[in-house]
């Protein structure tokens, strides 16, 4: 059996442990035993996302996520879903800028089935990939784009802001969904080349968490994954580095058939995996993280100029992260009034910093969110994969909570002062129009950088 090490709980890990192993073909394996409930989560991250795509072939990573559910060498058609759900499990897959992941949660006695299914499509998907499955899933993805981006209010906001914050030619300039034209242009040979390049064991991390026997689990992994050959043709993603701030305010007015005026903005923030990113996360939480936040209190409760106001963080490792502001106006309120109030609150926060009560509340909120993720077998499996793929060390997932709690109020204030100002943002101003007036066929859940596979027959 390949190399591994014993599980020792690290300081700040809450007693959680994980062991790491590597097969001869390069597959990294992370195991974490948790015997509280008789279930096991299997999570497989491939180090490929939309940042690896080239101009003219956007959306291929997401398209391939769907193709992975269209049958493999031993499992035909929709069989992957049928077998997992028939065994009492649940499953799905998602694509983001930086990775594609697949996951199952199974009753413990069905763990071997999940491992066999994932190994079968990693090792033999090309045997089942043909023109029919390609066309089927191309249509599914195009329909997903219509349903989540093009035909819902504010649906293309995230796509528009991403294109503004990350300039033309940057690997994060386009979102994982891809364009209709590029989806139409993708060929079967493109898909086959993509699979050979990225769906190799040495480009993946497999985590298994839950009520498992580590020795038996490793034996199954070696049995089913060990004979899959590695592949050395992958090129590293293009450099995503950018200046710390944009240096000016980028602005676009969108006239669409939407329910209300809206102000949306994206701020360039520190890379994920840094202390500065955790500080920025706390700043956004104080300012716009829920009904106790400053922006909600000012705009929704006090001024009553907005029906919703919030900040969120899209963490990115290979490029600056995004701080996402979303405010929907109340009644006939003009966006300019909202924007003035937002800038007043950001400037005040940058000058004064958070109060002790705000720091305590924000840290408790982020701590709860982290514990919610790490407290489920599926959430912990995903986080172990994330830290292994993006930062090289799955153990970092187990100490993430402590890192948030170590951030000081001065660091939070500094994050706001350096980056939460008008010269470091892209802004969208939505103005409602009647259907006949709409000049932009815009419209996905604004902050959703992942594109999820459809379940069941939609696959």
Q: Which residues does the annotation mark as catalytic?
A: 65
Distance in angstroms (rounded) separating the CA atoms of residues 123 and 322: 36
Distance in angstroms (rounded) separating the CA atoms of residues 219 and 93: 25
């Amino acid at each position: 059996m390949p190399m591994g090490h014993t599980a020792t709980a690290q300081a700040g890990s809450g007693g959680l442990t994980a062991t790491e192993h590597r097969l001869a073909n390069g597959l990294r394996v992370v195991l974490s035993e948790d015997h509280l409930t008789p279930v096991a989560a299997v999570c497989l991250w491939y180090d490929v996302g939309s940042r690896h795509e080239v101009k003219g072939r956007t959306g291929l990573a997401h398209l391939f996520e769907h193709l992975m559910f269209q049958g493999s060498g031993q499992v035909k058609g929709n069989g992957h879903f049928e077998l997992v759900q028939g065994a009492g499990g649940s499953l799905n897959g998602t694509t983001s800028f930086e990775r594609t992941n697949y996951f199952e949660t199974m009753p413990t006695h069905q763990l071997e089935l999940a491992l066999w299914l994932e190994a079968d499509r990693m090792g033999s998907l090309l045997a089942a990939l043909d023109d029919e499955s390609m066309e089927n899933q191309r249509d599914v993805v195009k329909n997903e784009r219509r349903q989540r981006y093009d035909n819902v209010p504010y649906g293309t906001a995230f796509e528009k802001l991403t294109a503004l914050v990350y300039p033309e030619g940057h690997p994060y300039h386009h979102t994982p969904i891809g364009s209709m034209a590029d989806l139409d242009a993708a060929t079967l040979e493109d898909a086959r080349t993509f699979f050979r390049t990225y769906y190799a064991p040495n480009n993946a991390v497999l985590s298994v968490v839950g009520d498992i026997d580590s020795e038996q689990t490793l034996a199954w992994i070696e049995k089913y994954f060990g004979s899959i050959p590695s592949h050395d043709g992958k090129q590293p993603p293009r450099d995503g580095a950018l200046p710390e701030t944009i240096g000016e305010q980028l602005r676009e007015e969108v006239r669409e058939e939407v329910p209300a005026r809206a102000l949306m903005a994206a701020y360039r923030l520190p890379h994920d995996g840094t202390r500065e990113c955790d500080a920025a996360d706390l700043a956004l939480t104080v300012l716009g993280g829920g009904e106790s936040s400053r922006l909600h209190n000012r705009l929704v409760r006090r001024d009553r100029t907005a029906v919703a106001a919030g900040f969120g963080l899209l963490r990115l490792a290979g490029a600056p992260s995004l701080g996402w502001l979303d405010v929907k106006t109340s009644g006939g309120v003009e966006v300019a009034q909202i924007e003035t109030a937002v800038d007043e609150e950001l400037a005040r926060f940058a000058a004064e910093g958070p109060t002790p009560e705000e720091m305590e509340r924000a840290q408790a909120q982020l701590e709860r969110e982290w514990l919610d993720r790490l407290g489920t077998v599926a959430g912990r499996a995903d986080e172990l994969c994330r830290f292994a793929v993006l930062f090289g060390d799955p153990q970092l997932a187990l100490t993430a909570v402590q890192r948030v709690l170590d951030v000081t109020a001065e660091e939070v204030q500094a994050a706001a002062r350096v980056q939460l100002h008008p010269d470091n943002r892209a802004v969208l101003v939505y103005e409602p129009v009647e259907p006949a007036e709409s000049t932009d066929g815009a419209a996905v859940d604004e902050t959703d950088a992942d594109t999820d596979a459809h379940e069941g027959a939609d696959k």
